[in-house]
Amino acid sequence: MSACPPVFVLGAGLAGTVAACRLAARGVPVRVIADRPGASALHGGGWLLGAAGPLDAAWPGAARHLDAATAFARAGLEALDLRAGTFVLPDVEGARRPCELAPASHAVVATFGPRLGVIDLVPLGHPFAGMQAAGTPIAVDWPPGPDAFGRSFAYVSQRIEAEPALLDGLLAALRAALAGHPVDALLLPPVLGVLRAEAHRRRLVEALGVPVGEALDVLPSAPGLRLHAALSAWRVAAGVETETARVTAIELSPLGVRIGDALRPASAVVLATGRYLTGGLSMHPTVAEPLAGLPLAVPVATNPLTEARREGPYDAGPFATGVRVDAAMRVCGADGRPVHDGLYAAGDVVGGLDTLTSRCASGLALVGGYAAAEAVAAQEGR
């Protein structure tokens, strides 16, 4: 056991990974503890940061950190090849979503119309009609095999990642299908792989001679799997050790995390456990922070039928609650003072912004993770 206990980051989603990798970059010894993927594995592929709107309103310091945080995350998530801009991208169900960052494979399709060929992978058996309305549908007989029917695009992405030879079959099928269709660009469902998706897309562009893009996904989401894989790869590249374990409690004096019967001392703890979905907030019997019983920022109506729904812009309701933080991302008590000098929080577990309606959960995770890491590094004197 080393003399100086490490910083523990609880959660391996976007916020936890950004925080851990930034801490490692600043030379702080850090360990990530997580037992399952974060909600970032459900990411649809388009990134909305919302700094000018909801994010900045909920946390006035956000804009100050935003550029540094996105630059840092984009450098770490090279696998996603994120591009900045103002995009309106179609998802496979036909909804058009505004995005500020998008992977290259999504950002390439900017034109809708009859000259856009929309690929329908017939053997999967779910022709997303909304997506096809973006252009001219082209039926393609791929992937092969009797087991394809009913499978999701994310499953096909996993398979093509494991067996890149399948791409040759897709290329041949696309060539055959495109014989009678002059198109300016191709829109595929997100099936091109996980971490190799961008390389696969470039190969299709070279072979077919037209821009090729993918639609954003619905659940289960291939871009979500890509983000999950890219986050894991980033932690490995940054030299951050990730431990698969379930933390049952955070002890405050002295600071440490409890895993089963063992109490592991920590010099600081970054809480990045997410909201309801990943267990950062428990729902039974009441809404609470389960690891340390931390006070919540936005009170949750105990009976939503009798208590009128507040029409606050983004700062009310059960999806805006979470722990209270100060400007340095330290967890605060009801009196507004830090609960402990070494306890920080980042990501969806932080209250004050309804990330469902504001749709900038990834912005909050990026900025919060980065800011928490900066604050911890300053506390550690690095």
Partner 1 sequence: MGMFSGPWTWRRVKSFSYLALAFNTRQLRRLFLGRRDDGGLSRFLENFSAEGMTPLDAAQTEHVLALTRCTYCGLCETVCPLPLDRWPAFARALEHSRHAAADLPPSCPPECRQCEAICPTGVPLREIPAFVRRQ
Q: Which is nearer to partner 1, 42 or 255 (CB)?
A: 42
Q: How far apart are CA 307 and CA 302, in angstroms?
A: 8
Choose which of 17, 70, 158, 242 interacts with partner 1 (CB under 8 A). 158
35 is an interface residue for partner 1 by CB under 8 A: yes
Sole binder of partner 1 in the list 154, 166, 173, 375 (CB under 8 A): 154
Question: Min. distance of Cβ 222 from partner 1 in angstroms?
Answer: 8
Per CB under 8 A, does 128 bind partner 1? no
Show the site string, 239-278: x = touches partner 1 by CB under 8 A, - = not: --------------------------------------xx
355 binds partner 1 (CB under 8 A): no
The token duo for 151 is 């499978």
Minimum separation from the CB atom of position 105 to partner 1 (A): 18
Compose the 274-313 pattern: x for residues touching partner 1 by CB under 8 A, - for all others: ---xxx----x-----------------------------
Question: What would the x/- binding string for partner 1 be over residues 71 to 110, using CB under 8 A?
Answer: ----------------------------------------
Q: What are phi and psi of 177, to 5 degrees?
A: -75, -30
Min dist. Cβ of residue 290 to partner 1 (A) = 13
Give 164-172's long-range contacts (Cβ < 8 A, gap of 24+).
Answer: 164/193, 164/196, 164/200, 167/192, 167/200, 167/203, 167/204, 169/142, 169/143, 169/144, 170/140, 170/142, 170/143, 170/204, 171/203, 171/204, 171/207, 171/208
Residues in binding contact with partner 1, number by CB under 8 A: 25
All residues at 6 or more sequence positions from 225 whose CB lies less than 8 Å from its CB, including other chains: 41, 154, 157, 158, 194
- Strand 116-121 to 185-188 pairing: parallel
CB of 79 to partner 1, least distance (A): 18
235 binding partner 1? (CB under 8 A) = no
Q: Residue 348: exposed, middle, or buried by beta-carbon count in 10 A (0-12, 13-18, 19+)?
A: buried
3 state DSSP class of 218: coil
Sign of CA dihedral 188, 189, 193, 194: positive
Q: Following CA atoms 148, 151, 155, 156 in sequence, which dihedral angle do they give, to the nearest 10 degrees?
A: 40
Site string for partner 1, 208-227 (x = CB under 8 A): -----------xx---xx--
Q: How far apart are the first and last CA of the chain?
A: 22
CB atoms within 10 A of CB 27: 10
| Residue 150 within binding range of partner 1, rule CB under 8 A | yes
Q: Which stretch binds partner 1 (CB under 8 A): 155-163, 255-263, 293-301, 325-333?
A: 155-163
38 binds partner 1 (CB under 8 A): yes
Give the interface with partner 1 as residue ranges (CB under 8 A).
35-39, 41-42, 146-147, 149-152, 154-155, 157-158, 219-220, 224-225, 277-279, 284
